[in-house]
Amino acid sequence: MGMKHIIILGDGMADWPVKSLESRTLLQAAKTPYMDKLARMGRVGRLKTVADGFHPGSEVANMSVLGYDLPKVYEGRGPLEAASIGVDLKPGEMAMRCNIICIEGDAIKNHSAGHITTEEADVLVKYLQEHLGNERVRFHTGVQYRHLLVIKGGDKRIDCTPPHDVPLKPYRPLLVKPMAGTESITVPERKADLTPQQTADLINDLIMRSQELLKEHPVNRKRATEGKDPANSIWPWSPGYRPQMETLSDKFPQVRKGAVISAVDLINGIGYYAGLRRLTVEGATGLYDTNYENKVAAALNALKTDDFVYLHIEASDEAGHEGDIPLKMLTIENLDSRAVGPIYEAVKDWEEPVAIAVLPDHPTPCELRTHTNEPVPFFIWYPGIEPDEVQTFDEVAACSGSYGLMKEDEFINEFMKG
Question: Can you tell me the mean pLDDT for 97-101?
Answer: 96
Question: Can you tell me the mean pLDDT for 148-160?
Answer: 96
If asked whether residues 251 and 373 sit together in one domain, one would say yes
Measured CA to CA, the distance from residue 61 to residue 13 in angstroms comes to: 13
- Dump the DSSP string for 37-88: HHHHHSEEEEE--S-TT----HHHHHHHHTT--HHHH---HHHHHHHHTT--
Burial of 397 (0-12, 13-18, 19+ CB in 10 A): buried
* CATH number of the domain where residue 401 is located: 3.40.720.10
Nearest to 285 by CA among 312, 263, 307: 263
Question: Can you tell me the mean pLDDT for 319-341?
Answer: 96
Domain boundary among 241, 276, 292: 241
Q: Has residue 84 been placed in a domain?
A: no
Q: Has residue 81 been placed in a domain?
A: no
If asked whether residues 223 and 269 sit together in one domain, one would say no
Contacts for 189 with CB less than 8 Å, ≥ 6 apart = none
Domain boundary among 176, 208, 241: 241
Question: Can you tell me the mean pLDDT for 321-329?
Answer: 95
Nearest to 82 by CA among 129, 135, 149, 127: 149
Q: Has residue 58 been placed in a domain?
A: yes
Measured CA to CA, the distance from residue 274 to residue 37 in angstroms comes to: 31
Residue 383 lies in domain? 4-74+244-416
If asked whether residues 209 and 263 sit together in one domain, one would say no
If asked whether residues 300 and 345 sit together in one domain, one would say yes
What is the pLDDT confidence band of residue 165, given thresholds at 50, 70 and 90?
Answer: confident
pLDDT number for residue 418: 72
The answer, yes or no, to whether residue 270 has pLDDT greater than 60, is: yes
Measured CA to CA, the distance from residue 103 to residue 113 in angstroms comes to: 8
Q: Using alpha carbons only, how large is the chain's radius of gyration in Å?
A: 22
% pLDDT > 70, the chain: 97
Question: Can you tell me the mean pLDDT for 359-366?
Answer: 97
Domain boundary among 241, 268, 288: 241
Q: Would you say how long the chain is, in residues?
A: 418
pLDDT number for residue 282: 84
311: left (phi over 0), alpha (psi -120 to 50) or beta: beta
Q: Has residue 22 been placed in a domain?
A: yes
Question: Can you tell me the mean pLDDT for 288-316?
Answer: 93
* Count of domains observed in the chain: 2
Q: Has residue 33 been placed in a domain?
A: yes
If asked whether residues 195 and 340 sit together in one domain, one would say no
pLDDT number for residue 164: 86
